[in-house]
Amino acid sequence: MPHDHDHHDMPPDPALRVKALETALLDKGLVDPDALDLIVETYAHKVGPQNGAQVVARAWTDPAYLERLRTDATAAIAEFGFGGRQGEHMVAVENTPEVHNLVVCTLCSCYPWSVLGLPPVWYKSSAYRSKAVIDPRGTLADFGLSVPKEREVRVWDSTAEIRYLVIPQRPEGTDDLDETALAALVTRESMIGTGEVKAP
């Protein structure tokens, strides 16, 4: 079959491409606009790293909760109402002065959406997926994070069965902050292990 139809230039900006696709789907009646609005609302305000940040802040301030998180992270995270959407079978791994944890999915992009939102592009890239295992310290350096040689770096490979959430170290000088203020300091990168939480 000849390939004789015209190709239109796609907008260079990803946001414009998404909007063009959305418009085409709506114009053809293939997508319900209310359903689309609900999906956007969910990922903008209900699913994302702000959820994981709440879990981390609670772990920092409540020793009993931290112990539940260590024992059964799935159940402890569900106490917040976070679960499903790739968030089943969670395991929490804690950063300490002796150990730094890094999460990767070497096969594809398994990732705990319920607590971290959609995976960033770099997490899904083959460069990250291979280098994180081969050279974890170099990978961390790529993100601007230097881990001392005496500190062990552990790499955790997420799968369809198990997903990991890094509990970063609580920064010094934050003893007077409540859970809400602490959660505001926690980043998605710190819960993957490619970053650390900084004091305000």
SS3 51: helix
Q: Which residues of 71-82 are buried (b: 16+ CB within 10 A; e: fewer)?
A: eebbebbbeeeb
Q: Which residues are catalytic?
A: 105, 108-110
Strand-pairing partners, residue 101, are: 154
**159 to 25, 31, 64, 122, 127: CA distances (angstroms):** 32, 31, 28, 17, 18
pLDDT in tens, 86-95: 557 899 999 9
pLDDT in tens, 126-155: 999 999 999 999 999 999 999 999 999 999
Number of helices and strands in the chain (H, E): 11, 4
Low-confidence ranges of the chain (pLDDT < 70): 1-12, 36-47, 84-87
pTM score of the predicted model? 0.79
